[in-house]
Structures are given as structure tokens and as C-alpha cells.
């Protein structure tokens, strides 16, 4: 574990990792300070998939960004969080082309990118970068997305599900989470809920700036240091994008927060790069890392599927672990329109319909002494041989169902 001291100087906060470029018709100059989620609140532990991405250089702290864990060894963030870029802001059109600024120079050393987990700043890193993955674009417009493969798994921290197949819709609500930094100590992760999507690219933000084909826009919400931070869909909890850039053109740069807060004269536009726009790259990164992708609305692929051995409910994708036939297995809820797989029957277990092994038919009875050799039949037991129905209910009473988001 590597020690880290928080408390950025103004110069440190102004590096490209704290970049939130302007989004007007021409590039805006960067402020010399950084600020957190606007009108946000402390981010709860349930959002621990949102992490800080810290640039270390020469043994010191050179800047910070935000990111999101989507697998024990995979973090999503913004491209400008992993690469050196041209100083100053950038402006983009709806086709994803640059109108000025945003040029990418070179990547940071992967091992200089360190991951910090938890809702508050600590003095140790959970992992460092092993490899940086991006699409190789030379400009950030419509390409401000990157993946960090880690040198070791991050354990004990939830991972986020990902949306890969559909774009967000105008009016959808999201939660913005970030590690926006300031010049004072006590840095902590923050979030803002109930933020509506205003534009889904390609299009133009009514508050200024083009929204590229792989981007979407919101209004006020994020600021410097929140770059790379996730947008969580409020219905499913899935990450749908990472912070790219934003601003309002306010010429008062005495504080970075001035460029992030709505006023009567200056309205803010903020831009996210969409995860569905980089589906192939994300899937390739998972394959390279040997990880399983947890898709939006799907069960956790790291857990045991139906019929596999379990010790507790949390071992199963369904969160149901039952005992039958002398062993524990992962079951699942069933119904008339959701039948059980072959070899299992839908039975009431403690008031919930679950799939249990279908009782085996008994063998034919032996001919009675002196009989003509005919056979007599007997009825099947309700549960497989060796485990009575009462025993199954007793085991089921020890297990339960849990639900997790993110």
C-alpha cells in the first residue's frame, strides 16, 4: 500500500487531471483551483464503486480525477485523466469534432495512476494501474473515455453494473458522483441526485456546446476534479457515462466554482462520454483482464448460477441457497409463467415459490413370495430420497434473499 497525503495546492489542482474544459464556441481558460460536486451531498458507502484516480509523479501527488470500478481489476475514467493534453479548454461540435483545443499529447505512465477507495480520503491506495486502454484518438471531443487495468484486484468494494446496449434518453434522471478536490484538507466523495439528461448526442446543448454522437449532456452538477466520475442511472443503478467537460463561460475565474454554477447570466452545460459508445472497447478490456462484465439488469456473473453449490444466499446470483439431497445449491424463484429447468419442480418453500429437485420415482417393488411375478406401484415422495419436506423447510428457514444495487 502506498501512502498519499491529500491537500492539493492550486498548481497541482490545475493540471489536466483536474480538467473541466469550457464548452463555449471557443476554448475557455482553466481556473487555478478545483471544486466538488455542485450542490451535492456526501456520497454514501453504497456508491463505493466510485473511486478517486490519483496521478502520482516523482513520489508526490500531481493531480486527481474520479473513476468507477466495474470489475475488481478494471476502472473506467476519462481519457484526459490518463493522458497529457493541450493546456486550456476545448470546444466541440455535434459531430464530435474539435472547434479548438482538446489535443491529446501522450499517456501518463500506467503505474503512476493510483486508485483510492471509500467515501473519504485515506492515506493508502488500493491498487495502481498496470495498463491504460483507449481508442487512440488525438482529440478529446467524443473520445474522452479510458480504461485502467489494475495491477491487483480491489476486494471488499462493490462494482458497478454497466449499460452497453442503449443510449440514455432525454429526461432520464441520474446521480453524479465525484471526488472534486479543493485547496483545503478533508476531501471526500460527493454526489448529486435527480439530475436530468438534457441532450443525447449528436446534438447541441441549449446552454452552449456540441454534444457528440457518443456523449450526453446535463446542466449544473459537476466541476473540476469530478472528471471521469460516473453517472449512475437512478432506475437501475448502472453506470451510463463518465464526466468529460463542462462550464458556463463565466469570465470570473477567481474561483473554479464560478464556471460550474448557474447564474442568471451564465448557465452551465456539462458533458459525459457514454459507456454504450465504447461497448467493443469495454468488452475487449474485460476479455484481456479475464473478468466477467456485469451488465445492467443482469445478475452478478461472479456469483454461482442456478444449480451450483453454495454455502450462503450471497453466494448465489438469485440470493437463494437451499439444501436438498445432502448438499446446498443455488435455487431461483419460479411461477406459472417462469417454470423451473428440467429436473426441478416449482414448490412453496417458506411462502416463496422456488425450484427444488423433482422427486425421483421409486423403483418397482419386488414380487411378493409366491406371487405370479406382478409388480405393485407406490407414490413418489415430495422431495428427493433422503430429505423429507419438513427438512427442506427447516434448511430454507436458515437462508434468505438479499438485494443489492451497484
72 Cβ neighbours under 8 A, 6+ residues apart: 150, 153, 154, 155, 159, 291
319 and 269 in one domain? no
| Residue-level pLDDT at 362 | 67
54 and 148: one domain?
A: yes
Determine the straight-line distance between the first and last CA of the chain, rounded to whole angstroms. 25
pLDDT at 373: 35
328 and 262 together in one domain = no
In a domain, 402, yes or no: no
Question: What is the mean pLDDT of each successive set of 10 residues along the chain, which is 406 residues long?
Answer: 31 30 27 58 93 85 90 97 91 94 95 92 87 97 98 94 97 93 59 96 90 96 91 97 92 84 91 98 98 94 93 92 88 94 92 89 59 30 25 29 34
Q: Per the domain annotation, does 55 fall within a domain?
A: yes
- What is the number of structural domains in the chain? 2
Q: Are 260 and 246 in contact (CB under 8 A)?
A: yes
Co-location of 338 and 285 in the same domain: no
C-alpha–C-alpha distance, residues 170 and 157, integer Å: 31
Residue 350: name the closest of 400, 404, 403, 402 by CA: 400
Residue 42 and residue 112 in one domain: yes
Instruction: Indicate if 202 and 283 belong to the same structural domain.
Output: yes
The pTM (predicted TM-score) of the whole model is 0.77
Q: Is residue 89 part of a domain?
A: yes
> According to the model, what pLDDT value does residue 367 have?
55
Kindly state whether residues 178 and 227 are assigned to the same domain: yes
Do residues 14 and 97 both lie within one domain?
A: yes
> Quick one: 277 and 323 in the same domain?
no
Domain membership flag for residue 404: no
Spatial contact of 189 and 179, defined as CB atoms under 8 Å apart: yes
Write down which residue in 289, 324, 339 finishes a domain: 289
Q: Which three cell numbers stand for residue 20?
A: 473541466
Instruction: Report the pLDDT value the prediction gives residue 123, as an integer from 0 to 100.
Output: 67
Whether residues 327 and 247 share a domain: the answer is: no
> For residue 219, is it within any domain?
yes
**Residue 300 domain flag:** no
Distance CA 197, CA 272 (A): 10
Inter-CA distances, 201 with 31, 37, 244, 388, Å: 27, 23, 14, 60
Q: For position 368, what pLDDT does the model report?
A: 52
Phi, psi of 190 (to 5 degrees): -135, 165
**Alpha-carbon torsion (197, 203, 208, 212), positive or negative:** positive
Residues 175 and 52 in one domain: yes
Query: Is residue 370 in some structural domain?
Result: yes
Residue range(s) defining the domain that contains residue 228: 10-289
Output the pLDDT for position 108.
Answer: 95
Domain termination site, one of 253, 274, 289: 289
Is residue 282 domain-shared with residue 318, that is, in the same domain? no
Q: Do the domain assignments include residue 162?
A: yes
The one-character DSSP state at 236 is T
Burial of 267-303, coded b for 16+ CB within 10 Å and e otherwise, reads bbbbbbbbbbbbeebbeebbeebebebbebeebbeeb
Amino acid at each position: 500500500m502506498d501512502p498519499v497525503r491529500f491537500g492539493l495546492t492550486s498548481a497541482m489542482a490545475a493540471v489536466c487531471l483536474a480538467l473541466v474544459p469550457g464548452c463555449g464556441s471557443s476554448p475557455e481558460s482553466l481556473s487555478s483551483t478545483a471544486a466538488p460536486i455542485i450542490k451535492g451531498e456526501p456520497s454514501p458507502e453504497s456508491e463505493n464503486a466510485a473511486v478517486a484516480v490519483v496521478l502520482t509523479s516523482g513520489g508526490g501527488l500531481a493531480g486527481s480525477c474520479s473513476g468507477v470500478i466495474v470489475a475488481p481489476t478494471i476502472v473506467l475514467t476519462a481519457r484526459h485523466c490518463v493522458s497529457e493534453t493541450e493546456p486550456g479548454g476545448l470546444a466541440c461540435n455535434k459531430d464530435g469534432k474539435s472547434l479548438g483545443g482538446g489535443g491529446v499529447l501522450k499517456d501518463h505512465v500506467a503505474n503512476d495512476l493510483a486508485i483510492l477507495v471509500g467515501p473519504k480520503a485515506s492515506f493508502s491506495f488500493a491498487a495502481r494501474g498496470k495498463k491504460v486502454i483507449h481508442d487512440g484518438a488525438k482529440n478529446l471531443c467524443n473520445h474522452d473515455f479510458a480504461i485502467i487495468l489494475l495491477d491487483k484486484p480491489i476486494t471488499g468494494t462493490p462494482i458497478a453494473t454497466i449499460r452497453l446496449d442503449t443510449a440514455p434518453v432525454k429526461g432520464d434522471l441520474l446521480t453524479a458522483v465525484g471526488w472534486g478536490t479543493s485547496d483545503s484538507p478533508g476531501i471526500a466523495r460527493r454526489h448529486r441526485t435527480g439530475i436530468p439528461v438534457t441532450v443525447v448526442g449528436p446534438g447541441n446543448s441549449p446552454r452552449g456546446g456540441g454534444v457528440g454522437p457518443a456523449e450526453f449532456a446535463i446542466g449544473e452538477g459537476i466541476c473540476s476534479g469530478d472528471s471521469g466520475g460516473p453517472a449512475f442511472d437512478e432506475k437501475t443503478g448502472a453506470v451510463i457515462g463518465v464526466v468529460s467537460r463542462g462550464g458556463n463561460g463565466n469570465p470570473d475565474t477567481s474561483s473554479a466554482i464560478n464556471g460550474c454554477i448557474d447564474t442568471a447570466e451564465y448557465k452551465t452545460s456539462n458533458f459525459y462520454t457514454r459507456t454504450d459508445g465504447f461497448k467493443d472497447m469495454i468488452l475487449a478490456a474485460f476479455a484481456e483482464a479475464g473478468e466477467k462484465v456485469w451488465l445492467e439488469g443482469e445478475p452478478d456473473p461472479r456469483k454461482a448460477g442456478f444449480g451450483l453449490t453454495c454455502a450462503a444466499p450471497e453466494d448465489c446470483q438469485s440470493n437463494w441457497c437451499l439444501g436438498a439431497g445432502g448438499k446446498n445449491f443455488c435455487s431461483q424463484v419460479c411461477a406459472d409463467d417462469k417454470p423451473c429447468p428440467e429436473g426441478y419442480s416449482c414448490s412453496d418453500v417458506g411462502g416463496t415459490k422456488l425450484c427444488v429437485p423433482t422427486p425421483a420415482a421409486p423403483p418397482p417393488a419386488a414380487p411378493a413370495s409366491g406371487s405370479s411375478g406382478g409388480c405393485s406401484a407406490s407414490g413418489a415422495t415430495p422431495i428427493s430420497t433422503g430429505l423429507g419436506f419438513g427438512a427442506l423447510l427447516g434448511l430454507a428457514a436458515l437462508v434468505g434473499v438479499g438485494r443489492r444495487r451497484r
